Copies of this chain bind each other. A is one copy, B any other.
Amino acid sequence: MVTLKDLAKEVGVSVATVSRVLNNSGYASPEMRKRVMQAAERMNYKPNEVARALNTSRSNIIGVLVPDISNPYFPKVIRGIEDEAIKNNYRILIGNTDHDFDKESKYLEIFNQNNCAGIISATWTVTRQDNLTTRPVVLLDRVVKEHISIEADNLKGGKLQAHHLIQQGVHHVLLIKGLEDYSSFENRTLGSREVLGENQVPYEILSHTALNGTLESGDIAFLEKFDGIICPNDLVAYRVLNVLINHGVSVPDQVKVIGYDNLDFSQYVYPSLTTIEQPIYQLGRNAFKMLMKMNQGIEVESEVLDVKLIKRNST
């Protein structure tokens, strides 16, 4: 590996001068600048980021926390973050937390140990961790007050779900709740309930975990009590559709199902899934941009991106 010292020797100057030229910091005569730049080019010099990170106590790596990268929602977010990061000469270190406080804690420690420049987290407990650094944190799709976050409009999304079902003429709704304690899921539920209530449409709430039991036991009798089912995300909707169809329940005639996220696959399931689209990729990109601003000391505010209904054949 060619180092600053090699370069300096080649040009016949001190490392200090070379460093200044390369970083555009401090003075350097135009002529000097030219000589150094050319030599750097010629020798294909690339600064060692480890040394730089040690010296400045700040690497160009940002930590990214997700519950599980296998969940198809996250790769898109990550791709958004990574695209924006690489453009700014940053890299991302990924951690899967599985909603586990201790795992999360460990990753935060790791981010510290690597002098990470910041953190983007899709797992909110991060805000309860006491070894959280002074480095900037952006919460993604998780809102916690006093913290900077970015999300798609979950309240609106939840409303849209209910609105659409009502428009399609449902009279008895099953509202499946997502993960507890996650603002995004709670707000969706809130939005749906609000609209359902306003329209005096009776509904029942089922927790995510209870759903698993229902689905596994294939308790169709229970599901058939409803003519509309609101799912917390597309993944859950796939499973609901699957059980319904396999038991000969006709969708959307007998029961209408609506998802949330608009994953790429939702157009291929049967019947194709009506859902709420959120700008997943954009969420990632913007999160990174916010982080950069925070690093520059610029004041940033939490962002809320828009969502919209995608009508397909399940409703």
Contacts and interface: CB of A to CB of B under 8 A. Distances in A.
Interface of A: 1, 46-51, 53-54, 59, 61, 68-70, 72, 74-76, 78-79, 82-83, 86, 91-96, 106, 109-110, 112-115, 238-239, 241-242, 265, 267-271
B75 A79 contact: no
A109 B49 CA distance: 11
As for how many copies of this chain the complex holds, the number is 2
A188 to B, nearest CB: 22
A83 to B, nearest CB: 7
Contacts of A83: 96
Given A48-B115, A50-B54, A75-B75, 20 more contacts: A46-B109, A48-B54, A49-B114, A50-B50, A50-B53, A50-B114, A50-B115, A51-B54, A54-B54, A69-B69, A69-B78, A69-B82, A70-B75, A79-B96, A82-B94, A82-B96, A92-B93, A94-B94, A239-B268, A268-B268
A89 B313 CA distance: 47
B265 A265 contact: yes
